[in-house]
Amino acid sequence: MLLSATRTPRAEIAALFLRLGLTAFGGPAAHIALMQSEVVDVRHWMSHAEFLDLLGACNLLPGPGSTQLAMAIGYRRAGISGLITAGLCFILPSALTTLALAWAYVTYGSLPQAQGLLAGTKPVMIAILIQAIWKLGRTAYRSWGLALTGVLCCCAVVIGAPPVFVLLAAGGLAALTVYARSMRRTTASAVWLPPMIGSGIAGTAALTSIFLVFLKLGVVVFGSGYVLLVFFQADLVDRLHWVTQQQLLDAVTAGQLTPGPVFASAAFLGYVIHGWAGAALATAAIFLPSFPMAGAAAALALRIRKSVLAAAFLNGVNAAAVALMAVVAFTLGRATLAGGFAWAVSAISLLLLVRFKINPTGLILAGATAGLLSFMN
């Protein structure tokens, strides 16, 4: 079912998400910022409000949130074929580059160094993230109540509340507020009923076991790609003893060094556990559940808007989602902007984004080049 009024050719969807899969450094929040820029500002495929609805729905799903957002955008533009195209094009570059690092790791015993690349791209991603938060925030915080919800969500995450709990609590609070207001408007002879949403090498392992374990992880990991480290530790290191603690940390490092979803670390781990076949199965299994879930989220997002109560819930979730992005931006910024070079790159990037509307991909490539040159000198 195609939900967008204008169908987008699959080749155009493939070109966009393949490019993002090759250049989207910085983690899930940065990926979302890049998609917002490309999909809303550059291509006008949807409004900020529509983008926020998809983001809010995908944030409630287990698995890689930014990857599911890419899939949901593809679904809205070209149906199921668009969903598959967007997902594969965003996932494969990251999986293949991570697999290349895994091969180098197993063959040579260490990861290729990429400090210069990260030094140049991370400050650019901070600037892109700030711009996205500003634009999405103007849509998400349409009232003082939603703005207050965003502030409370930031505080909750800072003190350690789980992101999924924060999202659900914000949505529930917004829905209860709307419901309470509607009840005050009713009379004793009339009862308002909201429409229902549904209307309308450390160890060896068999390949089957690898597939099932990573499939489970694709279903149960809530939060973000970084939460995946906890689940990897529990299953692959502590329970199954398939990899060592150091191999796990190296796998996550490889996921950070490559663009695209952090979940592509599964390719690295699969290769360490069982070579090329293990890498293929682990990657396929961990991303497989996201395809139907993202399609369902995209399909339901429009239906939710038709229900007053459900729409209020989604408004609260959207307010929380932007707040979570702000917390991530602050955390990443504090870790990234540690010197004059990083501050200069980030400030110049933000100026070029806001004043001259420079395409984010070009800025990322320029930042990578500047970072590599700075480390060569």
- The verdict on 248 and 181 lying in the same domain is no
- The verdict on 307 and 340 lying in the same domain is yes
Alpha-carbon distance values, 38 to 128, 228, 269, 305 (Å): 11, 27, 32, 24
- The verdict on 91 and 188 lying in the same domain is yes
Give which of 297, 339, 261 is closest to 30, Cα–Cα. Answer: 261
- The verdict on 40 and 90 lying in the same domain is yes
Question: Crossing angle, helix 360-376 and helix 28-35, to 10 degrees?
Answer: 140
Contact between 132 and 37 (Cβ < 8 Å): yes
Q: Please report whether residue 337 resides in a domain.
A: yes
Single residue among 260, 287, 314 that ends a domain in this structure = 287
- The verdict on 176 and 73 lying in the same domain is yes
Mean pLDDT across 256-262: 76
Q: Please report whether residue 343 resides in a domain.
A: yes
Q: Please report whether residue 363 resides in a domain.
A: yes
Res 223: pLDDT: 54
Single residue among 287, 320, 336 that ends a domain in this structure = 287
- The verdict on 140 and 153 lying in the same domain is yes
Report residue 179 as tokens: 């419901």
Number of domains in the chain: 2
- The verdict on 151 and 32 lying in the same domain is yes
Distance, in Å, from the CA atom of 42 to the CA atom of 361, rounded to the nearest integer, reads: 12
Residue 133 amino acid letter = I
- The verdict on 242 and 349 lying in the same domain is no
Q: What's the half-sphere exposure (Cβ side, CA atoms, 13 Å) at 134?
A: 11
Q: Please report whether residue 4 resides in a domain.
A: no
- The verdict on 53 and 150 lying in the same domain is yes
Q: Please report whether residue 54 resides in a domain.
A: yes
Q: How confident is the model at residue 267 (pLDDT cuts 50, 70, 90)?
A: very high
Report residue 265 as tokens: 């670390």
- The verdict on 45 and 109 lying in the same domain is yes
Q: Please report whether residue 50 resides in a domain.
A: yes
Q: Which residues contact 49 (CB under 8 A, 6 or more apart)?
A: 139
First and final C-alpha spacing in the chain: 54
215 is in which domain, residue-wise? 207-287
Give this prediction's pTM.
0.69
The fraction of the chain above a pLDDT of 70, given in percent, is: 85
Q: Please report whether residue 260 resides in a domain.
A: yes
Distance, in Å, from the CA atom of 49 to the CA atom of 144, rounded to the nearest integer, reads: 17
- The verdict on 257 and 300 lying in the same domain is no
Mean pLDDT across 107-126: 68
Q: Which residue has the higher pLDDT, 126 or 93?
A: 93
Contact between 335 and 165 (Cβ < 8 Å): no
Res 309: pLDDT: 78
The fraction of the chain above a pLDDT of 90, given in percent, is: 25
- 109-113, 119-123, 147-151, 246-250: the lowest-pLDDT one: 109-113
Q: Please report whether residue 200 resides in a domain.
A: no
Single residue among 231, 262, 287 that ends a domain in this structure = 287
- The verdict on 211 and 303 lying in the same domain is no
Question: Crossing angle, helix 360-376 and helix 340-356, to 10 degrees?
Answer: 160
Residue-wise pLDDT tens digits, 129-180: 787 788 778 878 888 888 888 899 888 888 888 776 787 788 888 888 877 7
Residue-wise pLDDT tens digits, 186-242: 544 333 323 333 333 444 568 999 999 999 888 877 655 555 766 787 789 888 899
